[in-house]
Structure 1
Amino acid sequence: MNSVLTSLGHIWQLGLKELRSLWRDRLLLLFVIWAFSGALYTAAKAAPDRLHRAAIAVVDEDQSPLSQRIVNAFYPPTFMKPTAIGLQDMDAGMDAGRFTFVMDIPPDFQSDVLAGKQPSIQLNVDATQMSQAFLGASYIQSIALGEVAEYLAGDRVVSTPVVDLAIRNRFNPALDNTWFMGVMELINNVTMLSIVLTGAALIREREHGTIEHLLVLPVKPSEIMLAKVWAMGAVVLLATALALQFVLRDALQMPVSGSIGLFLTGCALHLFATTSMGIYLGTVARSMPQMGLLMILVLLPLQILSGGMTPRESMPDLVRYLMMGAPTTHFVSFAQAILYRGADLSIVWPQFAAIGLIGTAFFVAALKRFRSTVSSMQS
């Protein structure tokens, strides 16, 4: 019993040492603060999945009531107010990047429509604006065809469809993509920072020579490793709780349907796995630049193939099976279930159990690697 208490005391004191080291590393501390505040907010707001204030210009060569009706159908906030330009200014405006869309309504457009000749409207799209180009082209086509159809049928004639499709958007009624982007950025930053902090802590001790001081103390390698796991995990967990409240709920106005305590419990399990992974990478890398290169190789698959950006059902079977061994796959699954759909423990316990098993495997592998590293340093 005394040995257990002594070991816990060592782990506690060593963990406090890690926290003091992080506090003195102001640049890394500033990076943690930014990752869970400004980076989270900008990621949620910077990539809208809907058209917003798209710049459009119109070359109206017809100057008819129908052409003016089409021009007046584009208005904020989806589009900026259409700019009337001449045919000679079209290419120059596109080359200078002033307009994302330029629509050219040909002469005699209205008379050709009334005569049933099916005239064409030319739409020039700046495809370098990828998301707006894809969405905006379909928007403009739908608006133009709708205005022509209403003009031919009379003023705002509404046809009754044969079948009425009732659409109900659950969990995100307003289809606000900032909720999704905010949660996914939080998940990615939890994974990234937990690996970076633990790996950097180990490399920092090796570079400063303090790891040799620890080896002459009556502490075990497992105690050194557990101290780094709980200290860096606690920092990321606290930052996650604060970001969830002040950034996602307050700044982004995202409603949290499920239990925050349950989410943080699952997050702690995930941190157990990722901090162990960080220690393993810290034993492999000999310097922070090497650690940075390893992070690229590890983080990209963890984030892209976890199911947060692309549905796992659309991935190849081999990739889906391999990613079942990654903690981020299960983290994304239970985070979305709890925060969006209000799931309780009876629903997310399989993900919790999977992360616990994966974390244990990572911890054992990291401990084995850490012991071999310590043994080589002692010899």
Structure 2
Amino acid sequence: MGQFSLSNIFHLGLKELRSLAADKVLLGLIVWAFSGAIYEAATGVSQELHNAPVAIVDEDVSPLSARLAGALYPPYFKTPELIRLDQVDAAMNSNKYAFVLVIPANFQRDAAAGRQPEVQLNIDATLVSQAFIGASYITQIVSGEVGEYLTGRRDAATSPIRLTTRARFNPNLTGLWFGGVMEAINNVTMLTIILVGAAFIREREHGTIEHLLVMPLRPFEIMMAKIWANGLAVLIGVAFALGVMVRHVLAVPIAGSLTLFLAAAALYLFAAASIGIFLCTIARSMPQLGLLIIMTIISLQLLSGGVTPQESMPAIIQNIMAATPTTYFVRLAQGVLYRGAGLVEIWPDMLMMAGVGAVFFGIALFRFRKAVTQTQL
């Protein structure tokens, strides 16, 4: 009976693959999600300061003020433009500049006399990430240039220690390295739930689910067939995304074993697909499923640790997300792809992911069996 069950699962899965191949919309979604979307997410959203427009109000017109203006240069900032003080408000209101540095009159004389003159930095804080990073950069640049001009040293005072900063795994702090990999990880969740969910709803809307029910098939066989078939399509897609788009097109180094990541991803596909089937047992139509998927995917992606570290979230959110497989998948995926973690480091997350996935699969199987029984009656 076990061999017969495996045969049914295999042939039902082949049917799913043929149905997927005939659906041009879903095929296009898969291709875009693991190619163009990866490139767009990596290059379209900058995580660092780049060509920020900046202006300077120089009321001192001294060698020191000219030195400050010359210290703001590409690629972090555009070449600074000189404007008058009465032009600042209008320029900021029109979103012409992200930063305006106002250097007061007698700035160099007061600095040399030790009077600690104030330099005003106006920031367009609607650009939140750019404003935070740019303000820090400009503050360091101004302090360093003034200190070097006055004392010949970039640090204003001698420190009893020397702090050496070392950035691990991404030494240049390049945001592109993060965006492409995380988009691939997030798309695994999104496409698995969408494909499996759409397969079930399509069967229901076309009436073919009744054809399956009159055949000697078990609900377990139907579910597993849809899981392995659609999961295989997603697994091939993410392998292409990481092996071609991330590693070669974006030139992002992958620290760990791609084979280990794909093995963990295959286990996660089972868990994510179970969530998709569970949603199908709740929805009665494709629009309802779409609404449920939107709420589910957004929550999983935002709260799983891929966008914001879970340590910064409220404890109740962390406890809730501990009951989802996405949390463990994101953590182990980042460990393997970013830090080169091996099986020894990620096996607890794989075990937890498999356990949570088994719970969702059991719930989905129970609800699907109940739906089958009601249909047969």
Q: Same fold (TM over 0.5)?
A: yes
Counterpart position of 2:80: 82
Indicate the SS of the match to 1:143. helix
Post-superposition offset of 1:167: 2.9
**Of 311, 314, 334, the match for 1:313:** 311
Give the secondary-structure state (helix, strand or coil) at the position aligned to 2:26: helix
Q: Percent identity among equivalent residues? A: 54
Q: Which of 319, 329, 332 is the matching residue for 1:331?
A: 329
Matches within 5 A, 1:221-300: 221-300=219-298
The 2-side partners of 1:355 and 1:129 are apart by: 37
Q: Aligned equivalents of 1:183 and 1:309: distance in 2? A: 12
1:41–1:5: structure 2 CA closer, same or farther, 3 Å change rule?
Answer: same
Partner secondary structure for residue 19 of structure 2 = helix
Secondary structure, counterpart of 1:308 in structure 2: coil
Q: Deviations over 1:78-101 (max 9, x none)?
A: 101001122333222222212111
| 1:351 aligned partner | 349
The CA distance in 2 between the partners of 1:157 and 1:145, in whole Å, is 8
Alpha-carbon distance in 1 for matches of 2:297, 2:286: 16
> For residues 124 and 315 of structure 1, what CA distance do their matches in structure 2 show?
31
- In structure 2, how many angstroms separate the alpha carbons of the residues matched to 1:73 and 1:56? 12
Structure 2 partner of 1:202: 200
Aligned residue type for 2:12: L
- For 2:32 and 2:71, how far apart are their aligned partners in 1? 42
Q: 101, 107, 116: which is aligned to 2:114?
A: 116
Q: Which residue of 1 aligns with 2:39?
A: 41
Question: What amino acid does structure 2 have at the position aligned with 1:330?
Answer: Y
Residues 73-121 of structure 1 show CA distances to partners (whole Å, capped at 9, x for unaligned) of 1000010100112233322222221211112222222223233333222
Structure 1 residues 169 and 8: CA distance shift in structure 2, 3 A: same
Deviations 1:34-82 (A, max 9, x none): 1111112222223333211110011212211111111111000010100
Is 1:134 the counterpart of 2:132? The answer is yes
Query: Which region of structure 1 is more displaced relative to structure 2, 272-281 or 10-19?
Result: 10-19
**Offset at 1:31?**
1.2
Q: Distance in 2 between matches of 1:234 and 1:333?
A: 22
2:144–2:154 Cα contact (<8 Å) kept: no
SS at match of 2:56: strand
CA distance in 2 between partners of 1:148 and 1:167 (Å): 23
Letter in 2 for 1:143: I
TM-score (normalizing by structure 1): 0.93
Structure 2 contact 48–174 (Cα < 8 Å) conserved: no
- For residue 220 of structure 1, the aligned residue among 206, 214, 218 is 218
Number of residue equivalences: 377
Structure 2 equivalent of residue 191 of structure 1: 189
Post-superposition shift, 1:155?
Answer: 7.7
1:92 aligns with 2:98: no
* Worse overlay, 332-341 or 42-51: 42-51
What's the CA shift string for 1:232-273, capped at 9, x where partnerless? 110111101111101111122222222211111110110001
CA distance in 2, matches of 1:103, 1:179: 32
User: What's the TM-score once normalised by structure 2's chain length?
Assistant: 0.94
- Structure 1 window deviating more from structure 2 (250-259 vs 78-87): it is 250-259
Cα distance in 2 for residues equivalent to 1:321 and 1:352: 18
Structure-2 separation of matches of 1:136 and 1:249:
30
User: 1:279, 1:325 → 2: CA distance?
Assistant: 17
Tell me the CA shift for residue 161 of structure 1: 4.0
Amino acid across the alignment from 2:71: A
Give SS of 2:169's match. Answer: coil
Report the AA paired with residue 19 of structure 1. Answer: L
Aligned to 2:174: 176
Q: Deviations over 1:201-255 (max 9, x none)?
A: 1111111222122222222221111110111110111101111101111122222
- Consecutive unaligned residues in structure 2, runs of 5 or more: none
Instruction: Report the Cα distance in structure 2 between the residues aligned to 1:281 and 1:256, rounded to whole angstroms.
Output: 34
Partner AA of 1:135 in structure 2: I
Structure 1: 5+ residue stretches without partners = none
User: 1:156 offset after TM fit, Å?
Assistant: 6.5
Query: How far apart, in 2, do the equivalents of 1:340 and 1:155 lie?
Result: 37
CA distance in 2, matches of 1:87, 1:166: 39
Give the Cα–Cα distance (whole angstroms) in 2 for the partners of residues 113 and 169 of structure 1: 34
Aligned-partner residue type, residue 238 of structure 1: I
CA distance in 2, matches of 1:352, 1:30: 31
Deviation readout 1:124-176 (Å, 9 max, x if unpaired): 21111111111111211221122222222248789764322233322222222
Compared with structure 1, are the counterparts of its residues 168 and 138 closer, same or farther at alpha carbon in structure 2 (3 Å cutoff)?
closer
- Displacement of 1:6: 2.6
Task: Measure the CA separation in 2 of the matches of 1:268 and 1:341.
Answer: 20
